C-alpha cells in the first residue's frame, strides 16, 4: 500500500486530486477502488471510465486535465511512468539463490544476488553478473559472459554451437567448429525458448539494455547494439550487425552478413536481404524502405 502523493514524489511531479491509498495496479477497463491505472491516449471511453470511478489514481495525458475528479498525475508518457511505478512499488521481490536441481560447471563466477532456477545447466568458465535472474531449465554453455541485472527466461539456450558447414569434394557437409563465446551486457532480457549461438572465432555480442522476446534465434557472430528490441519469432542470421535503438517486429528474418544501422525499424514478417541505413523503416519480402 502506498499513498498517491508518494508515487507523485517518485515520479518527480505533482499529484492532482485527493491523496488516496493505492493497493494495486489495474487496467483502465477494469477500474477498482484504490488502484493505479494509466491512459496513454485520450478517448471518450476512457474518460467515461475515469469519471465513473473516482477512487483511483490515473496517470494521464494533458487532454484529461479539468475533465476528471479522481486523483491523477499528468505525464508526457503515462505508460512509461506506469511501468516505472509498478516496478518500484508493486513488483514482488525475487528471492536470490541457486536451486538444488541446478548443475554448475567448473570455474563459474556468480555475482551477488543472482537467482538460478530449477534444472538449469551452467557450463564451465561462465560468468554471471550481480542481480541476474536465470529462470528454470535454462542451458548456458562454456565461456558465456552475462552482465548485471539480466533476465533469462525459461528453457532458453545460450552459447551452444551455431549452424555452420562447408561441403567437401563429395558434397558432404563438414561442420565448422565454433570456438567463440556469447557476451551479454547489462540489463538484458532474453525470452523463453530462445537461442543465442556462440561465435565461430569471434564472439556473439548482445549490448546493454537489449530486450529479446520469446522464440527468437540469434545466430553466431551477431552483434546487437544497445537498447534494441527484438520481438517474438524473429530470426537473425550469422554475422549480422544491428545498430543501437533498433526494433525488429515479430517474424522478421535478417539475412546473414547484413548490417542494420541505428534506429532501424524492421516491419512485421519482413525479410531483410540488403544493408539498411540508420533511421530507416523497412517492410515486406524482400524488405524495402518505407520511409
Mean pLDDT along residues 41-60? 92
Here the cell at position 218 is 540469434
- Using the CB atoms, write b or e for 74-97: b if 16+ within 10 Å: bbeebeebbeebeeebeeeeeeee
Mean pLDDT along residues 89-97? 88
For residue range 15-41, what is the model confidence (pLDDT) as tens digits?
999 999 999 999 988 888 999 999 999
C-alpha to C-alpha distances, 158 to 49, 86, 129, 216, 230, nearest whole angstrom:
45, 30, 15, 12, 16
pLDDT value at position 89?
95
pLDDT value at position 234?
97
pLDDT value at position 203?
96
Here the cell at position 121 is 545447466
% of the chain beyond a pLDDT of 90: 91
Question: Are 152 and 134 spatial neighbours (Cβ–Cβ below 8 Å)?
Answer: yes
**CATH code matching the domain that covers 2-89, chosen among 1.20.1530.20, 3.40.1390.10, 3.40.50.300, 3.40.50.10420:** 3.40.1390.10
Is 220 in the active site? yes
Q: Among positive and negative, which fits the CA dihedral 69, 74, 79, 80?
A: negative
pLDDT surpasses 90 at 98: yes
Chain-centroid distance of CA 105 in Å reads 27
Here the cell at position 3 is 499513498
- How far apart are the C-alpha atoms of 147 and 151, rounded to whole Å? 10
Locus of grid cell 491505472 = 37
Question: Are 278 and 263 spatial neighbours (Cβ–Cβ below 8 Å)?
Answer: yes
- How far apart are the C-alpha atoms of 91 and 36, rounded to whole Å? 13
On average, the pLDDT of the chain sits at 95
pLDDT surpasses 90 at 54: no
Q: Are strands 281-283 and 288-289 parallel, antiparallel or unpaired?
A: antiparallel
- How far apart are the C-alpha atoms of 237 and 271, rounded to whole Å? 11
Alpha helices in 62-180 (DSSP H): 78-89
Least confident of 81-85, 89-93, 177-181, 241-245: 89-93
pLDDT surpasses 90 at 271: yes
pLDDT surpasses 90 at 95: no
Residue 223: strand, helix, or coil: strand
Mean pLDDT along residues 224-244? 97
Question: Are 167 and 130 spatial neighbours (Cβ–Cβ below 8 Å)?
Answer: no
Instruction: Considering the candidates 72, 178, 215, 220, report the single residue annotated as catalytic.
Output: 220
- How far apart are the C-alpha atoms of 134 and 99, rounded to whole Å? 10
Residue 80: strand, helix, or coil: helix
pLDDT surpasses 90 at 141: yes
C-alpha to C-alpha distances, 3 to 8, 160, 279, nearest whole angstrom:
9, 48, 42
Here the cell at position 56 is 483511483
For residue range 243-263, what is the model confidence (pLDDT) as tens digits?
999 999 999 999 999 999 999
User: pLDDT-derived band of residue 277, with 50, 70 and 90 as boundaries?
Assistant: very high
Burial of 286 (0-12, 13-18, 19+ CB in 10 A): exposed
For residue 117, cis peptide bond before it (omega within 30 degrees of 0): no
Amino acid at each position: 500500500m502506498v499513498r498517491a502523493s508518494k508515487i507523485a514524489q517518485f515520479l518527480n511531479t505533482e499529484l492532482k486530486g485527493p491523496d488516496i491509498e493505492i493497493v494495486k495496479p489495474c487496467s483502465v477497463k477494469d477500474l477498482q477502488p484504490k488502484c493505479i491505472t494509466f491512459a496513454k491516449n485520450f478517448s471518450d471511453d476512457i474518460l467515461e471510465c475515469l469519471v465513473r470511478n473516482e477512487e483511483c489514481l490515473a496517470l494521464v495525458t494533458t487532454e484529461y486535465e479539468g475533465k476528471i475528479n479522481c486523483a491523477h498525475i499528468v505525464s508526457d508518457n503515462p505508460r512509461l511512468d506506469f511501468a516505472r511505478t509498478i516496478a518500484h512499488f508493486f513488483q514482488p521481490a525475487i528471492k536470490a539463490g541457486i536451486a538444488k536441481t541446478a548443475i554448475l560447471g567448473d570455474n563459474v563466477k556468480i555475482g551477488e544476488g543472482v537467482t538460478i532456477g530449477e534444472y538449469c545447466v551452467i557450463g564451465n568458465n561462465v560468468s554471471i553478473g550481480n542481480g541476474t535472474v536465470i529462470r528454470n531449465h535454462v542451458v548456458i554453455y562454456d565461456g558465456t559472459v552475462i552482465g548485471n541485472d539480466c533476465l533469462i527466461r525459461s528453457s532458453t539456450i545460450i552459447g551452444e554451437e551455431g549452424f555452420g558447414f562447408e561441403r567437401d569434394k563429395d558434397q558432404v557437409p563438414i561442420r565448422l567448429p565454433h570456438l567463440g563465446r556469447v557476451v551479454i551486457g547489462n540489463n538484458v532480457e532474453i525470452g523463453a525458448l530462445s537461442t543465442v549461438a556462440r561465435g565461430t572465432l569471434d564472439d556473439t555480442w548482445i549490448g546493454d539494455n537489449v530486450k529479446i522476446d520469446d522464440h527468437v534465434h540469434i545466430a553466431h557472430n551477431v552483434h546487437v547494439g544497445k537498447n534494441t528490441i527484438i520481438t517474438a519469432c524473429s530470426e537473425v542470421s550469422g554475422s549480422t550487425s544491428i545498430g543501437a535503438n533498433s526494433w525488429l517486429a515479430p517474424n522478421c528474418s535478417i539475412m546473414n552478413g547484413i548490417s542494420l544501422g541505428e534506429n532501424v525499424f524492421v516491419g512485421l514478417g519482413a525479410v531483410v536481404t540488403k544493408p539498411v541505413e540508420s533511421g530507416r523503416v523497412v517492410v515486406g519480402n524482400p524488405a524495402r524502405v518505407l520511409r
